[in-house]
Structure 1
């Protein structure tokens, strides 16, 4: 009897927000895997569970491929929450129907509508420069004006997040500037070329 009581309380003592989350995830796996059946309710429930781990954590789902779905754990670009992304990812059990991914990964850039502005990904150029141990990026967006600087900065962050992924943008990128394209944009690369050019920048520096 005493052993049972100690075991009961020991189990509760060893529980963590991360382990509690994954227990909930497994209990609700069917609902989550088929979230399209009731997307709003499912996302609300999942968001509430993730915020118990950390208020800044968020998520993305990928499409079903080969009977599996991607489940992406994100800090929504908030650096202070990165350790919690790592902790939640590390605590994930074996889930045969899921590919669990930490941080939003690199993706093929797509056109963006943000703050009333439409930007075609194919028209955006990026200049890479040294910024201490990091890469400073100047994003050249057609139509840029100083009057709409904040909106265009939002577009720039979305473009970079797509091309480089959440982790690299927050840990390896220094300054980010936005300008209109001009003839002096020497060495600029397209956003499609950016991942390879970005990685090569650090290889040349031996990082």
Structure 2
């Protein structure tokens, strides 16, 4: 009996749920609070303990901490700009209990322009030396495309300035807005400007106006795929193996693509070298079951459109265009968990208002 006690003495239960994580955090929060308040070795005494527990829950969690006020320490949990991880950060913080002395925040919040000041690589990033202007396109009118200018940018320091601009924007407009509202950002020097410069302080108002305009334009638009036309496409790769795709061609010709700006791509790698990279009967059934599971969760009338699939070189890719990014991210992760050990599944969720990812199928 004493041997068993020694094994489990001081042992911690693995984190398998949000509740497990917060139970663990509550057991340690007083020690973590002192580490931050007394400005001790935060990495060693806080972050090095926090990080493994978050990784047990799921990879893709990042964090920062600091003093919120005299009696409160803040912990900001972030996805570091990864769209597919944002819903999990939000859910984790939503599940947080009230803990005296702690303030938990999901994603880096937007700051007032007077509070955003960054020094990096010897350069300053602040409202007085950063400007922007909007770019317009007749071909892609709904895209939010901006050019950001920094007074000190040169060819020599371009990488440092671009990195600093991204950090500045992430803090100024907030992590969620930076990750989801802007489609394209181009960073240049002031001498390269082609339009009238706008103070960076006005960027938030510009984004709010464009987002409101976009929502009003596409609000309520849905597409019923029940009677759509699907085309089978075949080609031969350089390896000599076939590639086969089944694509909803009516969707590819739809004139309201931007109403479903989020693309979910699920990649399934299956084993075996027979059939020139095509699945055998057993594997085909498994791939079909996985796709049906996704379709049960993501329905067209709810705003999730199955564009089609492609199969080649022992890989099946499944594509959806979606009105939002949160539910597809959660569904795809649950599929990865469900079929773990049977096939290797990865997924991505990204913004592509005009579905340019699928031009190769047209």
- Measure the CA separation in 1 of the matches of 2:29 and 2:200: 36
Higher relative contact order (CA 8 A, sep 6+): 1
Residues paired across the two proteins, number: 190
- Measure the CA separation in 2 of the matches of 1:88 and 1:134: 31
User: Does 2:80 align with 1:76?
Assistant: yes
User: Does 2:121 align with 1:111?
Assistant: no
Matched residue of 2:201: which SS? coil
Matched residue of 1:105: which SS? coil
Offset, 1:117? 4.5
Find 1:200's aligned residue among 198, 202, 209.
Answer: 209
The answer to whether the Cα contact below 8 Å between 2:117 and 2:124 also exists between their aligned partners in 1 is: no
Which residue is 1:152 aligned to?
A: 161
Aligned-residue Cα RMSD (Å) equals 2.3
- Measure the CA separation in 2 of the matches of 1:185 and 1:112: 27
Unaligned runs of 5+ in 1: 1-14
Q: What's the CA shift string for 1:148-181, capped at 9, x where partnerless?
A: 4433321221111011111111111100101111
- Measure the CA separation in 2 of the matches of 1:167 and 1:132: 22
User: Does 2:177 align with 1:168?
Assistant: yes
Offset, 1:135? 2.1
Q: TM-score, normalised by structure 2?
A: 0.48
Which residue is 1:39 aligned to?
A: 42
Matched residue of 1:153: which SS? helix
Q: TM-score, normalised by structure 1?
A: 0.79
Find 2:147's aligned residue among 138, 163, 173.
Answer: 138
Which residue is 2:195 aligned to?
A: 185
The answer to whether the Cα contact below 8 Å between 1:109 and 1:192 also exists between their aligned partners in 2 is: no
- Measure the CA separation in 2 of the matches of 1:200 and 1:158: 23
Which residue is 1:93 aligned to?
A: 97
Unaligned runs of 5+ in 2: 1-14, 217-362
More helix by share: 1
More strand by share: 2
